[in-house]
């Protein structure tokens, strides 16, 4: 293991980017924002760390289409940073869809996540980073050319699940054609 692991206590917040250690990490990695293409496919709200936002909920900020379809609209190797903060479980994904009156099919729960990762791999520039948030550190993965550079564990106390933050670098040398 050649990367740092940080451990912090911080109160939970349903707005992930308002959690203090996460906010500090994003400010370090994303700013200055002017010279980068930074996308957030599951944004919920405009937060100031991205240049392009999407959320399937039409009441939220940015484009309002499914994240996978939104990523497919992006050109190959054009993104510097991806903020990957999807629903953390299939249950949360189902709740999002149910709340919008949309149906969640079996394909969504079985291959949706791997298809998202393939699209992220396609659109992220070589040397670009993906910052993943969730309850695991699976990230995009070595098999798609990504290398872990940092893990942050946020302990929220009580019966709250920890939030895990994984920073990965796209180590692919070739550009998609």
State pTM to two decimals: 0.92
Unique residue bearing structure tokens 């939104």: 70
Q: Domain spans of the chain?
A: 17-145+158-170
pLDDT above 70: residue 112 = yes
pLDDT above 90: residue 105 = no
Dig out the tokens for 21 from the structure: 């250690």
pLDDT above 80: residue 20 = yes
| pLDDT tens digit sequence for 41-81 | 999 899 999 999 999 999 898 999 999 999 999 999 999 99
Domain 17-145+158-170 falls under CATH 3.40.50: yes
What confidence category does residue 98 fall into, taking pLDDT thresholds of 50, 70 and 90? confident
Let me know: does 26 contact 36? Beta carbons within 8 Å.
no
| pLDDT tens digit sequence for 131-171 | 999 999 999 999 999 999 999 999 999 999 999 999 999 99
Span 108-114, average pLDDT? 80
Nearest residue to 163 (alpha-carbon basis) of 2, 25, 1: 25
Strands 124-134, 52-53: pairing is: unpaired
Let me know: does 148 contact 175? Beta carbons within 8 Å.
no
35 or 104, greater pLDDT: 35
């Amino acid at each position: 293991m050649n990367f740092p692991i940080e451990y912090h206590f911080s109160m939970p917040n349903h707005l992930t980017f308002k959690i203090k250690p996460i906010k500090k990490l994003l400010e370090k990695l994303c700013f200055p924002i002017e010279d980068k293409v930074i996308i957030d496919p599951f944004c919920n709200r405009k937060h100031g760390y991205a240049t392009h936002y999407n959320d399937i909920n039409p009441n939220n900020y940015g484009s309002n289409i499914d994240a996978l379809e939104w990523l497919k609209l992006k050109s190959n190797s054009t993104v510097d940073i991806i903020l990957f903060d999807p629903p953390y479980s299939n249950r949360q994904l189902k709740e999002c869809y149910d709340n919008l009156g949309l149906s969640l099919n079996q394909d969504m729960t079985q291959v949706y996540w791997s298809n998202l990762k393939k699209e992220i791999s396609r659109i992220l520039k070589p040397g670009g980073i993906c910052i993943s948030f969730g309850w695991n550190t699976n990230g995009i993965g070595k098999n798609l050319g990504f290398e872990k550079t940092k893990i942050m564990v946020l302990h929220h106390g009580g019966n709250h699940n920890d939030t895990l933050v994984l920073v990965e670098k796209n180590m692919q040398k070739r550009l998609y054609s």
